[in-house]
Structure 1
Amino acid sequence: MAKVIEVSGRDIDEAKQNALKELNLPENRVLFEVLEEPSKGFLGIIGNRVAKIRATVKELSPEDKANEFLNKIFTAIQMDVDINRREIDFGCLFELSGDNMGIMIGKHGQTLDALQYLTNLVANKGLDEDRKHIVLDVENYRSRREDTLKHLAWRIADKVRSHKKKVVLEPMNRHERKIIHMALQDESDIMTYSDGEEPYRRIVIDNKR
């Protein structure tokens, strides 16, 4: 439910500024409704009436909440990051660019995945319906990582065939495990399955018995 407050001031502009100060929000995030116009009383002294307004915080879409959260994060860590967002088949992609963006990726994308997880929590907080899946990408890392995982899957499958022995990969998140499964799903002599508990769940590549 949107937050609503009623605020007064000597005039409408002052009432609006008082509301924005109390809400700690920029003007474009708030809707204003004038409840009482200011008026001067007898001789401009007796019976003066102040302005009174109702201020309602605008509800943000999940995408807007994600954008706002990311901007706050980058401002806090003093990074100048450009955010370009676009709709994709299964959600909304936020493409991040700037200087020294490698730090935002981390080892095997762990930092990027963690930031994506937090962004989704913020974007969809309080929503039971109309939830939006937010995907973060840095310098096309997601696509490059997918190619790397596919080639890894094919290389390990060849090793399993040659040595007739299963291979257990390092822990991966659910999305990356799916890439491995999909890359090998049409191999008639190779099987894949996941083993272990999150966050240490691993892919096992083995010969079909």
Structure 2
Amino acid sequence: MTNASPEKSQVTRLEEEGEIAADYLEELMDIVDLDGDIDLDIHHDRAAVEIVSEDSPGSLDALVGQDGEVLEALQDLTRLAVMARTGERSRLMLDVAGYRARRRSELEAEATAVISQVKEGGSAVSMRPMNAFERKVVHDVVAEQGLVSDSAGTEPQRHVVVHPAAPTDD
């Protein structure tokens, strides 16, 4: 009889996802003849996998693509590879050469500017179309600032709409 806590089994499962993803990505990088290291971590109850290259970070640009399109596709393929091995849907996050971290900072600044616009103008503001990762970052920033946001439209034109804070009942 084991005393493994549910938390431990969750961490073990996420570590396994990361290892499977790393194996898949290493094989892919060998096929396309790219050099890089794989860093594994767990962030916000998700496996976090990053491909890095200290020698020549620019060599990984092909794995990011324009506006992160290749990175999004590579993340989807990696999630499918994990699901094929585990039988469970994966929510792992993939980053290449810090692209998502840089993009997160840019989006937080963009969201902050829109929040100011909404607070000053008192009406909703629609942002430009974004992928799911970008929308999630914006929704988080909006919520932290006490405003409300939702997503509108259909892919590839799905975007965030930021609304003024709902009046409170005093």
Same-fold status (TM-score > 0.5) = yes
Partner of 2:100: 142
SS at match of 2:33: coil
- Find the aligned partners of 2:48 and 2:131 in 1 and give their Cα distance: 18
- The runs of 5 or more residues in structure 2 that have no matched partner are 1-15
- Find the aligned partners of 2:19 and 2:48 in 1 and give their Cα distance: 12
For residue 203 of structure 1, report the CA deviation from its aligned partner: 0.4
2:162 corresponds to 1:205:
yes
For residue 105 of structure 1, report the CA deviation from its aligned partner: 1.9
2:18, 2:48 within 8 Å by CA — same for their partners in 1? Answer: no
Partner of 2:69: 110
Higher RCO (CA 8 Å, separation ≥ 6 residues): 2
Deviation sequence 1:48-75 (CA, Å, 0-9, x none): xxxxxxxxxxxxx543432232122212
For residue 165 of structure 1, report the CA deviation from its aligned partner: 5.0
TM-score with structure 2 length normalisation?
A: 0.71
1:15-94 correspondence to structure 2 within 5 Å: 61-94=16-49
- Find the aligned partners of 1:90 and 1:136 in 2 and give their Cα distance: 14
Alignment coverage as a number of residue pairs: 147
Instruction: Say which structure is richer in helix.
Output: 2
Label 1:127 to 1:83 Cα distance change in 2 as closer, same or farther (>3 A): closer
SS at match of 1:198: coil
- The equivalent position to 1:168 in structure 2, one of 100, 122, 126, is 126
Using the TM superposition, name which of 174-183 and 157-166 deviates more: 157-166
TM-score with structure 1 length normalisation?
A: 0.59
- Find the aligned partners of 2:144 and 2:97 in 1 and give their Cα distance: 31
Instruction: Say which structure is richer in strand.
Output: 1
Overall identity of the aligned pairs, in %: 28
- Find the aligned partners of 1:69 and 1:172 in 2 and give their Cα distance: 27
For residue 208 of structure 1, report the CA deviation from its aligned partner: 5.1
Deviation sequence 1:95-116 (CA, Å, 0-9, x none): 2112322232223322212111
Question: In angstroms, what is the RMSD of aligned CA positions?
Answer: 2.5
